[in-house]
Amino acid sequence: MLDRMLGLLASYSILKYRMVETGENGATRKFERVYAAEPVCMSFLNRGDGSGSLASLFMLSTSEVFFKTWAHLKDLILEGKDAFTSAHGMKLFEYVGFNEQLAELLNRGMSEGLVTSKYPHIKGINFDLASAIAHAPLYPGVKHVSGDMFIEIPKGDAIFMKWILHDWSDEDCVKILKIVGKVFPRRKSDNSRDEYASEDKDQRFCF
């Protein structure tokens, strides 16, 4: 069974293998596969050099908490219910406040490969709910700030939204983006799009 699983991974270039002859002292010649990792596997290692890793995100998506939601896929498809809520009785971001291990894993999965780790001169703010920030690991150059994105968000020269809008309705997305737009002072422009600028005149942000 293990060899079949490894063979499947090799067929997708996740692993590679070579045939090695076995047998000693004139025994019947036999061959077996010896497997090794392909470069893509480096994405699942935490090398500590700021290059990023998918390890925590992979562990999060394969955790028991997330696996339980698959049993409620029917509720999502037929009735439009949230599968996580059906499985655990509350939404994911509420559940995080009661599960410290999941909160830490979620934070690591969302934060590994931070821009600030590769460009130390950039200072960042990790903005999230108080329940999530409470278990957030410390990162050089990153300040954790708790709050509600439907009310106000911290100011900055740029805002990077990772895995945010897909969780909300169109109406909520409009609310979020309007609040994001308030962070940057508006500049008159001939373009049809609203144009925003930070104090650095070379930087512009369009929404």
The total of other beta-carbon atoms located within 10 Å of residue 53's CB is: 18
Q: Looking at the annotation, which residues are catalytic?
A: 166
Q: What domains can you pick out in the chain, each with its CATH number? A: 1-44 (1.10.10.10), 52-111 (no CATH), 113-186+202-206 (3.40.50.150)
What pLDDT sits at residue 167? Answer: 76
> Using CA atoms, how far apart are residues 194 and 186, in angstroms rounded to an integer?
8
More confident site: 136 or 17: 17
* Residue 7 identity: G
In this predicted model, what pLDDT tens digit does every residue of 63-91 receive, in sequence order? 888 889 989 988 888 888 888 899 999 88
158 φ, ψ to 5°?
Answer: -155, 150
- What's the mean pLDDT in 147-151? 91
Contact in structure between 91 and 82 (CB atoms under 8 Å)? yes
What pLDDT sits at residue 195? Answer: 44
Q: At residue 23, does pLDDT exceed 70?
A: no
What pLDDT sits at residue 27? Answer: 59
- What's the mean pLDDT in 139-157? 87
| E strand intervals along 23-92 | 30-37
- The DSSP call for residue 191 is S
More confident site: 164 or 106: 164
pTM, full prediction: 0.57
- The DSSP call for residue 137 is P
> Using CA atoms, how far apart are residues 194 and 206, in angstroms rounded to an integer?
6
- What's the mean pLDDT in 31-43? 85
Q: Which two tokens stand for residue 37?
A: 């990792």
In this predicted model, what pLDDT tens digit does every residue of 183-203 receive, in sequence order? 876 655 555 444 444 444 433
More confident site: 97 or 127: 127
- The DSSP call for residue 166 is G
Alpha-carbon Rg for the chain, nearest whole angstrom, is 23
Q: At residue 99, does pLDDT exceed 50?
A: yes
For residue 54, what are the CA distances in angstroms to 40, 59, 85, 113, 128? 11, 9, 25, 9, 21
Residue with tokens 């999502």: 76
Give how far the C-alpha of residue 112 lies from the chain's centroid of Cα atoms, to the nearest Å: 8
- What's the mean pLDDT in 130-147? 81
Least confident of 34-48, 132-146, 181-195: 181-195
The total of other beta-carbon atoms located within 10 Å of residue 112's CB is: 19
